[in-house]
Amino acid sequence: MTTNALLQITLYFFVLLILIKPLGWYMAQVYQGKSCGLNVVLGPIERGLYRVCGIPANQEMGWKQYLTAMLLFNLLGFLAVYVVQRLQAYLPLNPQHFPAVPATLAFNTAVSFSTNTNWQAYAGETTLSYFTQMTALTVQQFLSAATGMSLLIAFIRGLARRETEQLGNFWVDTVRGVLYILLPLSLLLSVFLVSEGVIQNFKAYQTISLVQSSADITKQTIPMGPVASQVAIKALGSNGGGFFNTNAAHPFENPTPLTNFFEMLAILMIPAALCYTFGILVNDKRQGWAVLIAMLVLLLPFVGLAEIAEQQGNPMFTNLGVDQQVQTEAAGGNMEGKETRFGIVNSALWATLTTASSNGSVNAMLDSFTPLGGLVPLWLMHLGEVVFGGVGSGLYGMLIVVMTTVFLAGLMVGRTPEYLGKKIEPYEIKMIAMVVLISPVMILLMTAFAVVTPLGIRSLGNPGAHGLSEILYAFSSMVSNNGSAFAGLNANTPFYNILGGIAMWIGRYWIAIPILAIAGSLAKKKLIPSSSGTLATHTPLFIMLLIGVIILLGAVSFLPVLALGPIAEHLILGGHHGL
C-alpha cells in the first residue's frame, strides 16, 4: 500500500472518529425526548404531526404493538411506491414522458426501497420520472432508515429497562428520527453537494451537439433532475439508491474528490455514532466503545486487503509482464471500471465502506475489481452486515452477535449467560439462532436455486467462477439489504425481480421480528447485580472473542462457496503469485 493511500485512509477515519461523540450524544438526546438544540424550531412541527396523525405521543407500546405498527407502516410504504411507479405515465414532473414501470420491476423496486435495500434493477435516468424519484424513492429512503433506527432504539430499551413490557412508541421514534436527525443532516449535506456541482433542478433533459461527432452520432442527451437531495439521504440513511444508473460514479452525483470524501463520511457517520448513543442509553459508555472498537478492528484489515488487491492490478496482466503503470500514472494497479477523479484508493475504500455499512452505493464498477478486491465487499456482507451495518440494523445485528458470544462464553464455564444484567435464557437463544441463521440459509439456498435454473443462468454475463460470484453477490446483497451489485448480472428479469423481492423481504423482516421479540423478553426481566463470575463485555479479551465469533460465523457459512467463486477465480488468473 502506498504512502498516499495510507494518508487518505488515516484522514478519513480520523475525521469519522471526531464526529462520533457529538453526533452520538445528540441522537441519544433525541430518542430520550430531551433538549437537543433544535427543539425550539422543530418541536412545534413534531407536536403538530402527532395531532394531525392522531398519534398518542405519551402512550408506549409492547413489542407486539411496536412490531405491528412497524409492519403496517412499511406495508403502506411498499404499496405507495408500487402504485406511483405503475401510474407514473399519468403523474406530473415527467418531462421525458416515461411510461409506467413494468409490474415485476415495480414490485422489486417497491420492496427494495421500503426495506432500506435500495437494490436497483433499472437505470434511473431512463426509467423513472422526477415525481417517482422524489415522492416514492427519496421519501422511502428517509422512512426506511428511520424504521431501522427505531427498531434499534426499541432493542436498546429492552436491554436498559427492567420489569416492564413497554419499548417506546414506534410512531414517535420514527418521527424523531426523521425530523431531528435525518432531515437536518440531509439538508446540510445537500447544500454542500450543490455548492460542489451536484445538480438539483426540474429541467427537461438537455440535448447538446458534440464537439467531436461521428457520422452516426452528432448529439448527446444529458439527464437532469433533483439529484442532490436524493444523494444526501442515500449516503446518510445507509440507502445507496442512486439517481443515475452509475450511482456515485456519475459526475452529477459525485463530481469531485471533496464530494466523494463527504459522501463516504456520511455513509459511516450515523452507524458509528449510534455505538456511542447505545452506551449512553444503557448507562455504560464502555459498552458502546467496545462495540465500536470491534467494528473498526474488523473493518480496517478489509480496507487494507481491498487496497492492496486493487493496487497490485490484474494478476493475469502481471504474469504476462504487462506494465500496469500506464493505467494509473502513479503506483500501478487495476484502474478498469474506476473513475480517474477518485483513483484506486477512494474506489476500494468506498466499496469496503458501503458493504460494511449496508449502504450499497458504488463509485466504481465492482464487476471490474480483481477477484480478491471483489471478495472484500462480498465477505463483509457475509459477516452479517454487523461491521457498522445499516443505520440501526447494523448495531442491533452486532448486539445479537454480542449475545451469541456471551452465550458461548457461558457454555465454556458452565454459567447462565448474562448481558448488561439480563439473563440470556432459552427463549432468547432460539430467537438469536433465527437471526443468525436466516441470512446465510437464504443466501445459499437462493444462490443454489439460481445456478441450477435456466432462468437464473440466462442472465449471466460471465461463465465459470466469476459467474457464480455474480449470482452469489446478488443474493448476498438482497438478503443482507445492502443493494450493491457486481453488475455483470442482468437482474431486470421476472425471475430475479420476483425472487429478489422475496429475498429482500425475508432479509429485513424475518430478522426484525425476532429482534423485537428478544427486546420484549429482556425488558420484562429483573436486573441481576454483577458478581465476580459475571463476564465483563467491555474488555479487550471480550472484544477479541467477539471478533473471533463474527469471523467464525462468516467463515463456516460461506467459505466453501467463496472458494468456488472469487478465490477460485484468483487462482485461475494466476493470482497465487500475488499477495
What's the whole-number average pLDDT of the chain? 92
Does some domain include residue 259?
Answer: no
219-222 and 418-419: which strand pairing? unpaired
pLDDT of 486 > 90? The answer is no
Whether 395 and 27 have beta carbons less than 8 Å apart is answered as: no
Which pLDDT band holds residue 270 (cuts at 50, 70, 90)? very high
Does some domain include residue 149?
Answer: yes
Does some domain include residue 58?
Answer: yes
pLDDT of 319 > 90? The answer is no
Enumerate residues 6+ apart whose C-beta is below 8 A from 560.
none
Concatenated DSSP letters of 28-60: HHHHTT---S-HHHHHHHHHHHHHHHT--TT--
Burial degree of 40 (CB within 10 A; 0-12, 13-18, 19+): exposed
C-alpha closest to that of 494 among 103, 84, 101: 103
Whether 146 and 244 have beta carbons less than 8 Å apart is answered as: no
- Where in the sequence is the domain holding 332, given as residue range(s)? 1-180+272-579
Element (H, E) at 24: helix 3-31
Does some domain include residue 215?
Answer: no
Concatenated DSSP letters of 432-460: HHHHHHHHHHHHHHHHHHHHTSHHHHTTB
pTM for this structure?
0.94
Does some domain include residue 193?
Answer: no
Does some domain include residue 249?
Answer: no
Q: For residue range 215-251, what is the model confidence (pLDDT) as tens digits?
A: 778 888 999 999 999 999 999 999 999 999 999 999 9
DSSP code at position 179: I
Q: For residue range 144-164, what is the model confidence (pLDDT) as tens digits?
A: 999 999 999 999 999 999 999
For residues 111 and 503, what is the distance between their CA atoms, to the nearest angstrom?
10
Does some domain include residue 194?
Answer: no
Q: For residue range 417-442, what is the model confidence (pLDDT) as tens digits?
A: 899 999 999 999 999 999 999 999 99
Does some domain include residue 253?
Answer: no
Q: What is the pLDDT of residue 534?
A: 81
What's the number of domains the chain is made of? 1
Q: What is the pLDDT of residue 30?
A: 97
**Residue carrying the nine cell digits 442515500:** 234
